[in-house]
Amino acid sequence: MGYFGSTLLAAGTTMPSDAAMGFASMGWTKHIGPLYETDPAVRTAAMATSSAIIATLHNDKQLQVKGIQAYNASVMEMVKGLQRTNWYKRDGLLTAARIMATFELLFISKEKDTPEPLAWRGHNQGQQAIFLARGPAAFATGPAHQLYADARINMVMLSMGQRKRSPFASPAWDKIPWKKHPKAVKDELIDLMQDIPEILEYIEEFKASPDPYRRQELETLIMGRCNEVRADLDAWAADRGDSLQRFDCFAHAGPIEPPKNDVEFAFHHMTTIYWFTLGMTSCIKSFFTSQQGVERIPERPLGFYATYTGGSVGTPASTTSSYDYDDVNSPASASTASTAPVQPGVSETEHYLWESAMYATRGVYAVRFFFTHDAGVAHSAAGLMSLAVLLRFYLHPATFCITGQEVEILESMYNIPILGIPIGQLLRRILGGHLPPLVANLGGPRVSHGLGWF
C-alpha cells in the first residue's frame, strides 16, 4: 500500500498533507489503507491499479494480466455490494469506484488507437447515486465527509457534460456536510463552480426554444448568472491575493518554476480549475453580447491582443447592453485598468473573447506540470481532464492565440507518456476517437465562437 500511495500522490508522498488537502481533492486516499483491510471491493480495486502501475513501469506482461484480473474481480465485488440491502451506506463502494475511475481513465491497450467505452463517467454516476441515496447528513463526519468533499469536482464535471444543473447545488448539500468541518479553499471554489451546469442547462433551453420572448428571458437570466458567478470568483480570488500568480505565465518574465511538493501540486490543480471556469463564463458572455454571433470583430494587427490591457469595454462600437457588470473593476484587470489608456473600438464581445483566450493561455503554460515525473498518477489523471477542456477551446476555428505558442505547446505534450500510454492516445479516447489539428490563429477572432468551447 505504501508503494501504491507514493505512485498515486504527488512528490512521492504516501499520505496527503493537511495543507494539500485544502487545495485539491486527494484527501480521500487517506482512507484506502483502512478500507483495504475490511472491504473486498477496495482491496481488489487497489490491487488492480497498483499491479497495473508496476506492470507498466517495468513492462511486466504477466503482472499486467494479473492487474486486469484484479480489476474484473473488483467489478464483481461491486456487483455483490450493490445487491446488499444497505449497499448505499458503504464507504467502501465509494472508494472503490473512485479508484476504478482512475484505472479506466489511464489503463488502456497501447496497441489500440480506437475509442473504447469510457467507464470513468459510469463510475462517477455510480458515486452520484450513492451520495443522493444517503443524503447530505450522512457525509458530515468521518471518512464519508472526505469522500464526498473530494468527489464534488467530478460531480460538477459530470453535470457539465450532461448540461444539467447539479443535484448537489442546494443549500442542504452545501451546508450540512460541513456542519462539523470548516470549508477548505477548494471547497469554496467548487461551491461557485456548481453554478456552471445550471447556466449550461439554460443555454440548452435557449438553443431549443422557438419562442423569442422566452429566449430573451433566458439571455437575461444567463448573463445575470454569469455575472454573479464572475463576481463571486473575483471575491474568492481577492482572498487568495498574489498567490494565484504562482503558475500564471503572465506574471513571470521567465520560465515558471514547477511545483516543489504536494501542496504546490494541489495548488496548481486548483488554480487551473479556477482559470477554465473563468474562461467558460467569458465565452458565454461573448456569445450573448455579440447578439448570438452576429457581431463581426475587426481584423487586428499581429500582436494586438498580446499588448491589449483590457482597460476598456462597452465602447461606441458595441451596441449591446452591459448587463450591469464592469469588468474593468475586476481583480484580474485591476493592475492595468487604472493606468491603461483607453483603447477605442474594442467591444464587449471582443473583450470577453480576449479574456477567454487569456485564461486558456494561462492553462496551456501551466498544464504541463500535471505530467512531470513527480506529479503522481492521480494528479496526472486530473491533468488529463483539464487538458481535454483546453483542447476543446483550441479546436474551434474562431479561437485565437495570445502568445502564438499555445498550439505548439499543447501538441508537444501528445507524446508524453502517462504510465506508458502517450497523452495523445488517452486524449483521443476522451474526445470520442478524434484528435483533429488545433487552430493556431494569431490574428484574432472575426466572430464570437460563443459556446464552441462546450
Average pLDDT of the chain is: 81
**Helices 348-367 + 262-289 axis angle, to 10:** 160
> Which residue, 136, 138, 98, is CA-closest to 120?
98
The pLDDT value recorded for residue 398 is: 66
pLDDT of residue 314: 34
Residue 258: exposed, middle, or buried by beta-carbon count in 10 A (0-12, 13-18, 19+)?
Answer: middle
What's the pTM value of the predicted model, to 2 decimals? 0.84
Q: At 77, give phi and psi (nearest 5°).
A: -65, -35
Of residues 332 and 3, the one with the higher pLDDT is 3
pLDDT in tens, 127-175: 898 899 899 999 999 889 999 999 999 899 889 888 899 999 999 999 9
Cβ partners under 8 Å of residue 216, min gap 6: none
pLDDT digits (tens, 9 = 90+) for 89-139: 888 888 888 888 888 777 755 555 554 545 667 778 888 988 998 999 999
User: Residue 187 pLDDT more than 90?
Assistant: yes
What confidence tier does 324 reach under pLDDT thresholds 50, 70, 90? very low
From residue 18, alpha-carbon distances to 100, 125, 191, 385, 423 in Å are 24, 28, 20, 24, 30
pLDDT digits (tens, 9 = 90+) for 271-315: 999 998 999 898 889 888 887 767 777 777 777 777 787 753 333
DSSP H helices in 368-422: 377-394, 406-412
- How far from 244 is each of 52, 69, 84, 135, 271, CA to CA, in Å? 35, 44, 46, 34, 7
**Digit-coded pLDDT (tens) for 355-384:** 888 999 999 999 999 999 888 888 888 898
| Secondary structure (3-state) at 20 | helix
State the virtual CA torsion across 385, 391, 396, 400 in degrees, nearest 10: 130
The predicted structure's pLDDT at residue 329: 33
Mean pLDDT (whole number) for 429-451: 69
Query: Phi, psi (5° rounding) for residue 372?
Result: -80, 170
d(CA 139, CA 398): 44
Distance from C-alpha of 258 to C-alpha of 374, rounded to nearest angstrom = 10
Q: Please name the residue that has the C-alpha cell 469536482.
A: 153
Contact between 405 and 255 (Cβ < 8 Å): no
C-alpha–C-alpha distance, residues 318 and 350, integer Å: 9
Beta bridge partners of 422: 417
Mean pLDDT of 309-330: 38
CA angle 143, 145, 151 (to 5 degrees): 100
**Where does the pLDDT of residue 81 fall: very low under 50, low under 70, confident under 90, or very high at 90 and above?**
confident
- 215 vs 14, higher pLDDT: 215
* Dist. CA 419–CA 103, nearest whole Å: 11
Give residues with Cβ within 8 angstroms of 143, minimum separation 6.
28, 31, 34, 35, 91
